[in-house]
Amino acid sequence: MRPVKFAVLPILAATAALGQQQWEFGAVGGGGLINNVAAASPAGGATAGFAPGLATGVFAGQNLYHHISGEIRYEYMQSDVRLAAGGQTAQFSGAAHAIHYDVIFHTNRKESRAQLFGAVGGGVKAFFGTGAEEAFQPLSQFGYFTKTQTIKPMIGAGAGMMYRLRPNVYLRTEVRDFMTTFPTAVLTPAPGVKYGSLLHEVVPMVGIVYVK
């Protein structure tokens, strides 16, 4: 977890530097869907990627202007690693942590009852292999699961809606796309195997926001 702690420090410093304006605090939950990448080798074709899993997150946002806000966010995603080829699947327990800052563009002023919004930002995503390594692994001709961790730069984008339930409480629904390169430290290609590079994790979420 040490790399994740180091990644949090600049974000905490940025939070302390923000001015005294209207704040939002929220929690969201949903599920993540990650695309597979091709695993090409002389032994044939396979796919490498991650199984769908639960996702949860928290965030703090600051109302900067009438139509623009900024958010510091953290998400935890269950991300079991897997290989598939010829009707056979091998899977390894895993998880991911995302830390990022987003700029939020609102269609209406913050005091409006309903708001559509778009988001774009960036940060880091840490992938963890958490399963037990074994001497024999199915589909090892395409790759090896490792109990390790790696951090990748991440670009994020998304869209959603907020609806006011009470004067200071909003319902929030959103869909996020977290983009990184493939974490070959967690799922390492076998000799002669080449993986595709780009991962998209699409995460639909719903949550509650408190405005202070």
Q: Provide Rg for the chain, Cα atoms.
A: 19
Q: What is the reported pTM?
A: 0.84
Q: Is residue 17 domain-resident? A: no
| Counted domains in the chain | 1
- 105 close to 68: Cβ distance less than 8 angstroms: yes
At residue 51, the pLDDT reads: 93
For the chain, the maximum distance between any two Cα atoms, rounded to a whole number of angstroms, is 62
pLDDT in tens, 123-181: 999 999 999 888 788 899 999 999 999 999 999 999 999 999 998 999 999 999 999 99
Q: Is residue 29 domain-resident? A: yes
- Tell me if residue 167 falls in helix, strand or coil: coil
- 70 close to 61: Cβ distance less than 8 angstroms: yes
Return the CATH number at 95.
2.40.160.20
Q: Is residue 138 domain-resident? A: yes
For residues 175 and 16, the model is more confident at 175
Q: Is residue 38 domain-resident? A: yes
Q: Is 129 exposed, middle or buried (0-12, 13-18, 19+ CB in 10 A)?
A: buried
Q: Is residue 135 domain-resident? A: yes
Residue span of the structural domain in which 94 resides: 2-10+23-211
* DSSP H helices in the chain: 2-17
